[in-house]
């Protein structure tokens, strides 16, 4: 007894001593600071204790450590020094202790089996790793054995033994057949934990010769196969037939039928067995039984319950699995096998032992000279582990003496340390099931104060919210922190400020007058330093006019207002949501500056609309509901709510129940569906009615359950489809007797509001739940995982109790029990709570940034120790901001962006960066209290990107053969401009593009004169800038050289130019510039670039100059052009764009499906056959009604030409001799057409002339008076040249015709074009390319030659007249020449 008293007294004195000691310093994770401070070694990475390696690969034994100066490394093997230099197969990585054993040179891995230990040493101490046991994995072959076939009678049990080879680690067993299909398993047939296959009873379908057991060795990725096992099941019917065939009729024969049998355990054997499992492991217990019918297995724990949430049943309930076992799971587990004939059971006695586990692991100490400190090493296990100490890897008993050190069991006490006291201490906790080894250093430093917070750091907060101003510091001894307002102001004191231990100054309620400079001063006996920071307090953002509730009829218009007021230095963004989601992609939703308007409201628009206003510092929102209703219906039968029930009566009064009856009221044309019963507690809540129950409308009585100590009154409400009736008159009152509480408070929680308290809250019982007078609560708590007794207190009329003086963020077991004057409620369940959180102490370290491309970067950081979080880890915040653009060297207002990464994530992506810019970032850990200190700012730069388009392109000073181009540099160069790329090409009147010319221009130029251009020619220009990365987007412009000196060619009206596109993933915005008459109706044509498919056409509503193409395919290049309705062939030039890449999807492209390709091939083949048939029918001959055409359209050569009718007077689409020739052909071959309207030549020529006439009339009179003799001469020369070329073409065509009849099909379109030239078709007749005359017959070679001769002879007659060129511009003439 005296011994126990002395021990307790010594412990009490030790606790008192520890309470008097100065707390150890924390070293901030500042990279610059850590580089300057000396630090003993710390093991940062090592291989696992039991390390199984692949014998086919090199062995890598990891050992990494940090320290200042950098540590050196050494190894022991099997307890003795391992000289690496003497083994040529072993190397150590540079600046590391990791060993690499090369076994590729024929060395076996078994030669390096053993126990390895790494030591990292510098001048301040030595840290050691765990004992690393190296063993190569083994996957031996199956031993050869002769397997006899298994002959089994139907209904008997059977066990097929697997007996896999012993491997390292043990293999995974499974059964398959010869086809590598897993054998089906069920309650009757299943695999045991040892790999054997158990049959509770065999059936005839079990007969097969390929039961194969496989062993998979995961470490070496190999699978071993056992020889197939044959099973033959004899059924009773077949056995009787066999016996009958071998016995005479006089013999008595016949096997017994299949008999049912009670269960018998196949495994485990006997009635009891024992099992030992380690704490934290998975406990697996197995029972497999034989019997017919197949037995069912049930599990129980004798004297207790199976642990909830950790218990699982596997293998058809034959295996009991309990995860994360603890000592509480020890006990007897009973499995029972049962079928219709009986049962059997087996009891497994489970004992849970425990390898050592930490209660308090030793932590690093940073002390200043003369300070005191402690290292505590506490572990638990079963059996209790022993604690031993080492210093610098040497048992402390034989280590050099240190007068400042005293060992007391699991604690080392340091008093008045000096710099020579620095060392690394190892704590070893071990028992028969394992060990724990932890390194903790004692580092004695003498350092003057340092402030780590950046100077003049700007903090911005919203008025009336807390302001936290950091002053991260370090020094040894620990500095004292003081705050001053201004540079030379007075020291800050008083309740309006909160001073945190980490140096942070908190202003709980910041006001506008809190704006200013704050100075932090840190001092210790070695020096003093200070730092100034700035605080700005902004006005809060407010919604001064909120959206209001709306009831709108269908097809009407709804409008919500959201007028805001904000600090002028903050930029707000307004977002509208519908039902907490984005607004529908619908043109009916119009978002204005201060409102949201919904046009043509539909039922789908019904919902809640929220206006959210965000700034960089705050966010506010307001919501309103939109209800869409139909127009009032036609008056019909009046349906109404029912009348209230009558005559309520209470009968059968008991302590806990009573019967209520009533008489229904009038239904009012709608049947009563149900009755709702409510009650009033006149004792506790008079005048408040509560829901009790409800019954169907056909029921008028109900048995009600009652609670003690309640003065009940009841009322009934009738309900039909229209609604609820008024409540009935209350029933008479009924007071129940008092009793103990039946239940305890719910929603018990323990959450600290301050770092040193625990706030226990609960939901109080309602008055009727008290069951009696004097309701109180017994609140109990104790620290978890510590052998403390429960502390209790009884309170009343509250739902909260605060426990003060708790450690920061420690788990507690909590329970709250109700009691009244009659006694206690049942024992409550325990909940786990935590004492208050504090701000994290440590910033994330080793922040690294990997720039992926010019707009995206990836940031990595090391997670902070969980103990330094001092709260629930919520995640990490990355603050990043642009410092400057590297191309302009101009700083701007820093707008910090924040990304939050939830959980213990250690990396994240930074999107939306600007190319060729310098950025800074830092990382902070976040808990429930707030953010921890920021990591040091990390600077990174983004590479160059492609530039934006040039800001403008102007074309001035047109001459006969030159144009002057002027441009502005890109708004966002995104790098160093290397050059500009200019591409241009001529355009004719039909918007066909000529050859493309490309010019590279130096980046320092801003204008260019293009010379040697064609006169009176329109050009299209494409202009873009270029960096070293590539070319940016281009801008386009068109211009025309003048046709004569001093005369400016007016723009060709109407025209469409500068078609631009902005493409997204599935849509593109198309815009253009239009010059011409008002009220033009535009259309947009588009198609896949490079495809021969027809253009798709979309009509533009109104005369807008923009359009949105929807339903595009992601990642596809498209071509687009814009045209105007009513103007044949009037379109813009083509533009190309590409949609954005598609998101990851599992959709299948239909164009790659076999069925779709086959269908398209069949359609193409059918069209080809139809074309061949039509061609053959056409080649058989046809009559053309040319004579009628001639009569209706006289020869234009003998008609007088009009001077000012706006038509071409040059020559018509068909001459007289051509008509006569075709008339002869009609008589000879017959006709394919029935009327003159079917003749495509005349019809088309007439329409084209009319269109061209109208076109030039609209274009103005600038061309009507142009008449030149020079142009006339040139035209005559071109006509002669055209006929000569046509002659050569006809000769080549005739030669091709003789070679093969297939020429007609392949070159029909080309021959048609030649005939048009021969017959004198005007340029406009070919304006609708791709639509040749359907019944045009090819001319014969002789007729072509004759036609050419007559055409040539008629030239003098044609040009002897004075033609009218008033309707032909020079561009049109040159276009005819090209045609």
pLDDT tens per residue across span 63-110? 999 999 999 999 999 999 999 989 888 999 999 999 999 988 878 888
> Which backbone phi and psi does 1273 adopt, to 5 degrees?
-60, -45
DSSP state of 720: -
Query: Is it the case that residue 886 has pLDDT exceeding 70?
Result: yes
Percentage of residues of the chain with pLDDT beyond 90: 55
Measuring CA to CA, which residue among 461, 564, 468 is closest to residue 512? 461
Q: Is the bond preceding 427 in cis, omega lying within 30 degrees of 0?
A: no
- Look at strands 39-46 and 189-191 and give their pairing: unpaired
Encode 890-908: b = buried (16+ Cβ within 10 Å), e = exposed. eeeeeeebebebeeeebeb
Query: 1237-1252: string of b/e by CB count within 10 Å (b at 16+)?
Result: eebbbbebbeebbebb
Bigger pLDDT: 17 vs 625: 625
| Residue 1116: Cβ-neighbour burial (10 angstroms; 0-12, 13-18, 19+) | middle
Residue 5: the pLDDT is 37
Check residues 1262 and 176 and name the one with the higher pLDDT: 176
683-692, 929-938, 1106-1115, range with greatest mean pLDDT: 929-938
User: How confident is the model at residue 1228, as a pLDDT?
Assistant: 43
Query: What pLDDT is attached to residue 412?
Result: 94
For the beta carbon of residue 1377, count every other beta carbon within 10 angstroms.
15
Give the tokens for residue 783: 């620290």
| Range 724-762 burial, b when 16+ CB lie within 10 A, else e | ebeebebbeebebebbbbeebbeebbbbbebbebbbbbb
Of 410 and 1185, the structure prediction assigns the larger pLDDT to 410
Higher pLDDT, 1256 or 656: 656
Per-residue pLDDT tens digits for 582-627: 999 999 999 998 999 999 999 999 999 999 999 999 999 999 999 9
Range name among 52-66, 138-152, 913-927, 1230-1244 with the lowest pLDDT average: 1230-1244
Arithmetic mean of pLDDT, 479-492: 86
Task: In whole angstroms, give the CA distance from residue 1290 to residue 1345.
Answer: 8
pLDDT band at 436 (very low <50, low <70, confident <90, very high): very high
pLDDT of residue 104: 81
How many CA atoms, within 13 angstroms, populate the side-chain half-sphere of residue 1183?
A: 11
pLDDT over 90 (residue 490): no
Q: What is the average pLDDT across 57-62? A: 92
Least confident of 272-276, 339-343, 628-632, 890-894: 890-894
* Distance (Å, whole) CA 385 – CA 355: 8
Question: pLDDT band at 1099, cuts 50/70/90?
Answer: confident
Read off the pLDDT of residues 375-385 as tens digits, 9 standing for 90 and up.
Answer: 999 999 999 99
DSSP class of residue 526 equals T
pLDDT digits (tens, 9 = 90+) for 714-741: 999 999 999 999 999 999 999 988 899 9
Which residue has better confidence, 337 or 11?
337
391: helix, strand or coil: strand
> Do the beta carbons of residue 612 and residue 619 sit within 8 Å?
yes
Q: What is the mean pLDDT of residues 868-891?
A: 86
Question: DSSP characters for 143-174?
Answer: PP-PPPPEEEETT--EEE---PPP-BSPPEEE
Confidence class of residue 26 from pLDDT cuts 50, 70 and 90? low
- Cα Rg of the chain, angstroms: 48
Q: Is the pLDDT of residue 179 over 90?
A: no
> Are 652 and 678 a contacting pair, CB within 8 Å?
no
Q: Which of 498-512, 745-759, 1045-1059 is least confident?
A: 1045-1059
pLDDT higher than threshold 80 for residue 1335:
no
Q: Which helix (H) or strand (E) holds 545?
A: strand 542-545
Please answer whether residues 105 and 91 qualify as being in contact, where contact means their C-beta atoms are separated by less than 8 angstroms: no
Over residues 220-234, the mean pLDDT reads 89
Task: Show the tokens assigned to 820.
Answer: 């009244």
According to the model, what pLDDT value does residue 654 have?
87
Q: What local confidence, expressed as pLDDT, does residue 1323 receive?
A: 35
For residue 1110, CA distances in Å to 585, 998, 1081, 1132 come to 12, 33, 20, 20
As a whole number of angstroms, the distance between CA 700 and CA 1088 comes to 73
- Residue that wins the pLDDT comparison between 971 and 719: 719
Residues 96, 67: Cα–Cα separation, whole Å: 12
- pLDDT tens-place string over residues 252-298: 344 456 789 999 999 999 999 999 999 999 999 999 999 999 999 99
The pLDDT, as a whole number, for residue 25 is 58
pLDDT at 1083: 86
């Amino acid at each position: 007894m005296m011994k126990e008293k002395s021990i307790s007294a010594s412990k009490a004195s030790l606790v008192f001593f520890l309470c008097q000691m100065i707390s150890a310093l924390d070293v901030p994770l500042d990279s610059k600071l850590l580089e300057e401070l000396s630090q003993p070694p710390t093991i940062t990475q090592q291989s696992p204790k039991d390390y199984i390696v692949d014998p086919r690969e090199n062995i890598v034994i990891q050992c990494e450590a940090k320290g200042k100066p950098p540590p050196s490394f050494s190894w022991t093997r099997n307890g003795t020094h391992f000289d690496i230099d003497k083994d040529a197969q072993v190397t150590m990585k540079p600046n590391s202790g990791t060993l690499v054993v090369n076994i590729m040179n024929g060395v076996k891995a078994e030669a390096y089996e053993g126990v390895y230990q790494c030591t990292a040493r510098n001048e301040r101490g030595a840290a050691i790793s765990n004992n690393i046991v190296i063993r190569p994995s083994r996957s031996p072959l199956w031993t050869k054995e002769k397997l006899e076939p298994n002959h089994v009678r139907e209904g008997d049990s059977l066990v097929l033994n697997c007996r896999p080879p012993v491997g390292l680690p043990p293999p995974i067993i499974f059964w398959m057949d010869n086809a590598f299909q897993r054998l089906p398993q069920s309650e009757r047939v299943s695999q045991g934990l040892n790999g054997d296959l158990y049959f509770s009873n065999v059936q005839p379908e079990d007969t097969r010769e390929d039961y194969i057991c496989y062993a998979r060795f995961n470490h070496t990725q190999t699978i071993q196969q056992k020889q197939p096992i044959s099973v033959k099941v004899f059924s009773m019917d077949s056995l009787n037939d066999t016996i009958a065939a071998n016995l005479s009729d006089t013999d008595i024969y016949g096997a017994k039928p299949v008999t049912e049998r009670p269960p018998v355990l196949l495994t485990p054997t006997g009635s009891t067995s024992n099992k030992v499992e380690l704490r934290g492991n998975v406990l697996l217990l197995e029972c497999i039984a034989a019997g017919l019918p197949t037995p069912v297995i049930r599990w129980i724990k004798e004297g207790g319950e199976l642990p909830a949430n950790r218990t699982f049943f596997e293998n058809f309930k034959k295996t009991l699995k309990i995860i994360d076992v603890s000592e509480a799971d020890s006990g007897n587990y009973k499995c029972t096998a049962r079928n219709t004939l009986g049962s059997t059971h087996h009891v497994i006695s489970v004992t849970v032992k425990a390898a050592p586990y930490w209660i308090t692991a030793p932590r690093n100490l940073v002390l200043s000279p003369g300070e005191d400190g402690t290292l505590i090493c506490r572990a638990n296990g079963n059996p209790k582990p022993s604690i031993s100490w080492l210093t610098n890897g040497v048992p402390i008993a034989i280590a050099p003496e240190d007068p400042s050190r005293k060992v007391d069991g699991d604690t080392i006490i340091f008093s008045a340390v000096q710099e020579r006291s620095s060392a690394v201490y190892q704590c070893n906790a071990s028992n028969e099931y394992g060990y724990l080894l932890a390194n903790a250093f004692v580092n004695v430093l003498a350092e003057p104060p340092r402030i780590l917070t950046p100077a003049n750091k700007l903090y911005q907060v919203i008025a009336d919210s807390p302001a936290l101003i950091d002053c991260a510091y370090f020094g040894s001894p620990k500095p004292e922190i003081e705050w001053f307002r201004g540079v030379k102001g007075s020291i800050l004191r008083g309740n309006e400020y909160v001073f945190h231990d980490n140096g942070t100054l908190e202003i709980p309620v910041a006001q506008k007058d809190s704006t200013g400079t704050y100075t932090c001063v840190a001092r210790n006996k070695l020096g003093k330093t200070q730092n100034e920071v700035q605080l700005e307090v902004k006005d809060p953002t407010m919604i001064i006019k909120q959206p209001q509730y709306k009831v709108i009829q269908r097809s009407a218009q709804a409008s919500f207002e959201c007028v805001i007021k904000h600090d002028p230095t903050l930029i707000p963004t307004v977002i509208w949501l519908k039902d907490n989601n984005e607004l529908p992609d619908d043109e009916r939703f119009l978002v204005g500056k201060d409102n949201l308007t919904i046009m043509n409201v539909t039922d789908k628009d019904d919902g809640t609309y929220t206006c959210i206003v965000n700034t960089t510092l705050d966010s506010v929102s307001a919501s309103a509901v939109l209800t869409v209703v139909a127009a009032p219906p036609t008056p019909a039968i009046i349906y109404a709510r029912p009348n209230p029930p009558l005559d309520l009566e209470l009968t059968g009064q008991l302590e806990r129940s009573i019967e209520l009856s009533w008489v229904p009221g009038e239904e009012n044309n709608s049947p009563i569906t149900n009755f709702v019963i409510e009650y009033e507690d006149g004792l506790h809540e008079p005048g408040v009615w509560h829901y009790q129950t409800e019954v169907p409308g056909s029921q008028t009585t109900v048995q009600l359950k009652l609670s003690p100590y309640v003065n009940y009154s009841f009322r009934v409400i009738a309900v039909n489809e229209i609604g609820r009736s008024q409540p009935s008159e209350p029933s008479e009152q009924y007071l129940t007797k008092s009793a103990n509480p039946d239940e305890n408070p719910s929603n018990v929680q323990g959450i600290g509001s301050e770092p040193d308290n625990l706030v226990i809250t609960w939901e109080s019982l309602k008055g009727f739940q008290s069951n009696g007078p004097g309701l109180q609560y017994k609140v109990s708590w104790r620290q978890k995982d510590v052998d403390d007794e429960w502390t209790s207190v009884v309170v009343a009329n509250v739902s909260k109790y605060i426990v003060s003086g708790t450690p920061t963020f420690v788990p507690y077991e909590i329970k709250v029990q109700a009691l009244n004057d009659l006694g206690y409620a049942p024992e409550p369940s325990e909940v786990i709570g935590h004492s208050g959180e504090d701000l994290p102490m440590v910033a994330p370290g080793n922040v690294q940034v990997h720039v992926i491309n010019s707009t995206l970067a990836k940031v990595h950081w090391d997670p902070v120790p969980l103990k330094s979080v001092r709260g629930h880890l919520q995640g990490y915040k990355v603050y990043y901001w642009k410092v400057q653009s590297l191309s302009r060297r101009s700083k701007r207002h820093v707008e910090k962006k924040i990304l939050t990464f939830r959980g213990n994530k250690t990396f994240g992506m930074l999107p939306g960066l600007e190319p060729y810019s310098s950025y800074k970032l830092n990382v902070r850990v976040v808990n429930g209290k707030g953010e921890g200190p920021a990591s040091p700012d990390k600077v990174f730069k983004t590479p160059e990107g492609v530039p934006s388009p040039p800001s403008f392109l102007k074309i001035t000073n047109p001459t006969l053969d030159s144009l002057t181009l002027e441009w502005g540099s890109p708004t966002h160069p995104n790098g160093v401009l290397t050059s500009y790329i200019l591409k241009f090409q001529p355009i004719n009147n039909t918007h066909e593009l000529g050859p493309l010319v490309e010019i590279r221009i130096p980046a320092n130029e801003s204008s260019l004169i293009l010379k040697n251009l064609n006169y009176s020619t329109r050009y299209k220009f494409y202009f873009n800038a270029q960096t070293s990365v590539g070319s940016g987007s281009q801008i386009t412009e068109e211009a025309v050289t003048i046709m004569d000196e001093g005369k400016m060619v007016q723009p060709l009206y109407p025209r469409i130019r500068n078609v631009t596109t902005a493409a997204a993933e599935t849509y593109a915005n198309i815009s253009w510039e239009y010059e011409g008459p008002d009220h033009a109706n535009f259309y947009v044509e588009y198609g896949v670039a490079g495809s021969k498919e027809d253009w798709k056409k979309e009509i533009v509503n109104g005369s807008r100059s923009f359009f949105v193409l929807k339903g595009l395919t992601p990642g596809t290049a498209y071509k687009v052009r814009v045209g105007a309705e009513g103007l044949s062939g009037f379109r813009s030039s083509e533009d190309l764009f590409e949609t954005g890449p598609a998101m990851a999807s599992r959709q299948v492209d239909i164009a790659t499906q076999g069925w779709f390709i086959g269908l398209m091939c069949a359609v193409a083949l059918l069209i080809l056959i139809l074309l061949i048939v039509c061609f053959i029918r056409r080649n058989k001959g046809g009559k053309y009604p040319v004579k009628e055409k001639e009569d209706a359209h006289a020869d234009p050569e003998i008609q007088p030409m009009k001077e000012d009718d706006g038509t071409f007077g040059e020559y018509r689409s068909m001459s007289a001799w051509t008509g006569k020739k075709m008339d002869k052909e009609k008589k000879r071959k017959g006709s394919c057409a029935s009327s003159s309207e079917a003749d495509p030549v005349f019809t088309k020529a007439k329409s084209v002339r009319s269109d061209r006439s109208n076109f030039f009339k609209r274009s103005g009179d600038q061309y009507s008076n142009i008449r030149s003799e020079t142009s006339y001469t040139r035209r005559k020369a071109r006509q002669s040249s055209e006929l000569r070329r046509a002659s050569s073409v006809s000769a080549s065509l005739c030669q091709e015709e003789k070679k093969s009849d297939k020429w007609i099909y392949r070159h029909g379109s080309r021959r048609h074009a030649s005939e048009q030239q021969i017959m004198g078709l005007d340029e406009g007749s070919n304006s609708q390319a791709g639509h040749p005359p359907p019944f045009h017959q090819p001319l014969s070679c002789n007729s072509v030659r004759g036609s050419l001769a007559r055409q040539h002879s008629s030239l003098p007659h044609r040009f002897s007249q004075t033609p009218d060129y008033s309707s032909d511009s020079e561009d049109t003439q040159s276009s005819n020449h090209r045609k």
